[in-house]
Structure 1
Amino acid sequence: MASRSPLYSLHASSGASFALADGWEVPSTWTSPLQEAHTARHACALWDRSPWGRFQATGKDALDLLNRLSTNRLDDLPPSRGRQTVLTTNKGRCLDWLWVFRLSSGLLLLTSPGAEEAVASWIDTYTILEDASLTSLTTTTALIGVVGPGAEGTLGEVVGLPQGMGRGDAWEGHWEGTPLIALRTDALALPQWDLLAPAPHAPRLWSALRQRGALPLGESAVEVLRVAAGIPRRGKEITDAYNPLEAGLWESVSFNKGCYIGQEVLARLKTYGKIQKALARLAFPRPVPASTPLWAEGKRVGVVTSSAVDEDGPIALGYLDRPFLEADREVEAVLPAGAPVPGRVVWAPSLPPAYQAPPGAGEDEDSP
């Protein structure tokens, strides 16, 4: 049976349509994906992120353990701050892309939807004598994303959020006598604060934000925003078929920290320029489904991993072989039947030794 958010009944009563994703019954749309995406880009939208896994990690060795298991440097993480990091296999392939926040009660881990069990099992495998333990918060809390240029003002009015929080900042406070945590994540390359609240109080918090003018954001609109921003997602761009560098997660990888699982592989790829493919943004005249092969110059050169329809037309993410990672490069999506669909590369990374961050990429994790 699919899991449901603590906000499910509220969503259903407000006219949401639902879909199954990652073992959860999630709100897909309220109005239309483009209308909801427009709200997120220009006003204030509410995204129910409750399917995203949540752990509290405690014990004196917890931070050091996570530092040794993942790609980014965490051992110097300041209080009330977070960083993104990747759990990788011994071959340097992606397991999941996490946020790790250092709070007064311990560490808070945010996993991808459907990844909670895999992350917990992976960490447990490498926990031997360390004083570290994980407690799941996924069923006892809700996670509400408040997204858009109007989010900060709305949160200041409703929950008393302090102004000026930067990406990666965390705030611990209360709302109507209930503990509340706000995390600045900008998960869709827009201003975004994720509110972690006890599950019983989440519907009241959602309603209070709606009363201040925030509008709901369904998963279909989230996909539009995510694909447009070039943000990879577990199960699509983040799988054990790819490593973090191919997925464009350079800001989540430290190349000057100590050893971690998969570190030697990633270091060699960067040092010797051996990255053979990478994630790119694409545009087509009509929608092209995920898993569609991409061809150019008479050969297969990549694959579509995600697609959506934005205001200017169909867009997609896909992995392309290195020689074809050029803006405006023409490719063809070869469908099982019918004529190939012509497309072009909208943005592609310039791989080492001169790596180029994409427009709108997150700032340095420790910048104010």
Structure 2
Amino acid sequence: MELLRQIQQEMGAILDSETQIPLSFGNDERALIAAKEEVVLCDRSNWGLLKLTGEDRLRYLHNQSTNNFNQLQPGQGCDTVFVTSTARTLDLATAYVTEDAVLVLVSPQRRQQLLEWLDRFIFPFDKVELSDISTEYAVFNLIGKQSDDFLTKLGLQSVINQPENSHQLVNFDNNIIRIAIGNGLALPGYTLIIPVAEAAACWSKLITIGVTPIGDRVWSQLRILQGRPIPDQELTEDYNPLEAGLWHAISFEKGCYIGQETIARLNTYKGVKQQLWGIKLTAPVNPGTLLILEGNKVGILTSCTNTSEGNFGLAYLRTKAGGIGLQVQVEDAKGEIIALPCLTHEYYS
């Protein structure tokens, strides 16, 4: 990883003093455009990568999170949510099923907590082993419309047009890496899971063929513009995954799992009292600011970013207050509720 960081700094990267991942390459405004229209490369190696092995691994994850692991085969994957017994949100994760393990990509803020959480529920009779392999791999994202074109340049056409979160091992410039479809956003792209020893070479190869690097600041802007909730902002124990718009990561057909009773009841009785939405603002506003409608509190802003196209944020809004198009006051700014591609709000029947 030291070599990777050296290469990134030579490209102009400003590294975070704690995580050492690039915050910016000095190209933020240009990179944000490239992420939508071209293809960019983002280093997410600070995210956690947990590994579960043992013959009960799928059953175990099936019982510990919201999605249906029992139906997954090697080469498939899914988004899933880890919740408390009362369905309060811990994290949105992505799992990849291999021939002999399940790899679970988790948010950096929840890596240690989920490691301890999952370990606590492994009982002596469970044939499951849990390990943290975060330091053994680098995680990169390709993001943008031209992602397929660049994989084609690298001779990796077999990955293209596969189902979301499916994955395979490929020979990338004489290095064996895992490529998964999707990048955690509602934009075209891929997730690359790369042994640390090959990380610098893979990064350099992608830059050489013309991929634009982005730092964590631009990824943070993209995730707000797309509606990807993250821990400590949208994903906290104040909210459940239905409120957070994570319906796509929940199976309503599977059996019992932690938090299932609460989630099923909320869906059955249409009991979601607040929902996460995008909000377009006339000025920057600090997260934590209340949304006001006709003098009444109807929600709270959780994230905000400024772009060349204006100010945008994420906010929880009371369901009874309204939805898309609603005009609210957010401190001195006016806000308009908008839909975002990562967020869904439909009840399952």
Q: Per the shorter chain, which TM-score range? A: over 0.9
> 1:168 Cα shift?
1.4
Mapped contact 2:74–2:98 kept (Cα < 8 A): yes
CA contact (8 A) 2:287 2:301 kept: yes
Worse-superposed segment, 32-41 or 169-178: 169-178
In structure 2, the partner of 1:157 is 153
- 2:96 corresponds to: 101
The whole-number CA distance in structure 1 between the counterparts of 2:285 and 2:3 is: 34
Match of 1:29 among 11, 24, 37: 24
User: 1:25 and 1:294 mapped to 2: Cα distance?
Assistant: 36
Partner of 1:116: 111
CA distance in 1, matches of 2:10, 2:168: 31
For 2:131, the aligned partner's letter is T
Instruction: Please report how far the alpha carbon of residue 264 of structure 1 lies from its aligned counterpart in structure 2 after TM superposition.
Output: 0.5
Residue 298 (str. 1) matches residue 295 (str. 2): yes
Superimposed CA distance per residue, residues 63-94 of structure 1 (whole angstroms, 9 cap, x where no aligned partner): 10000011111111022010011111011001
Match of 2:196 in 1: 199
Given that residues 142 and 197 in structure 1 are in contact (C-alpha distance below 8 angstroms), is that contact kept between their aligned partners in structure 2?
yes
Verify: 1:12 aligned to 2:9, yes or no.
Answer: yes
CA separation of 1:236/1:7 partners in 2, compared to 1, >3 Å: closer, same or farther? Answer: farther
- Which residue number in structure 2 is paired with residue 189 of structure 1? 186
Distance 1:350 1:247 in 2: 9
TM-score, normalised with respect to structure 1: 0.89
SS of the equivalent of 1:114 reads: helix
State the distance in 1 between where 2:268 and 2:24 align: 45
Q: Tell whether the 8 Å contact from 2:267 to 2:348 is kept in structure 1 after alignment.
A: no
Q: CA deviation at 1:291?
A: 1.2
Does the CA contact (< 8 Å) of 1:148 and 1:191 recur in 2? yes
Residues 154-181 of structure 1: CA distance to partner in whole angstroms, max 9, x if unpaired? Answer: 1232363513223111011223443210
Does residue 56 in structure 1 map to residue 51 in structure 2? yes
Task: Name the residue aligned to 1:265.
Answer: 262
Cα offset for 1:133?
Answer: 0.9
Q: How many residues align?
A: 345
| TM-score with structure 2 setting the length | 0.93
Contact 1:7-1:202 at 8 Å conserved across structures: yes
Match of 2:232 in 1: 235
> How far apart, CA to CA, are the structure 2 residues paired with 1:215 and 1:160?
19
Does the Cα contact within 8 Å between 2:3 and 2:200 map onto a contact in 1? yes
Contact map agreement 2:248 2:344 (CA 8 A) in 1: no
Whether the 8 Å CA contact 1:5–1:51 is kept in 2: the answer is no
Distance in 2 between residues matched to 1:30 and 1:74, nearest whole Å: 38
Q: Can you list the C-alpha shifts for 1:114-153, whole angstroms capped at 9, x where unaligned?
A: 2111111111111102111122221111011111111122
CA distance in 2, matches of 1:350, 1:133: 34
CA RMSD of aligned residues (A): 1.9
The percentage of counterpart residues that share the same residue type is 29
The AA in structure 1 aligned to 2:108 is: P
Q: Which amino acid aligns with 2:49?
A: R
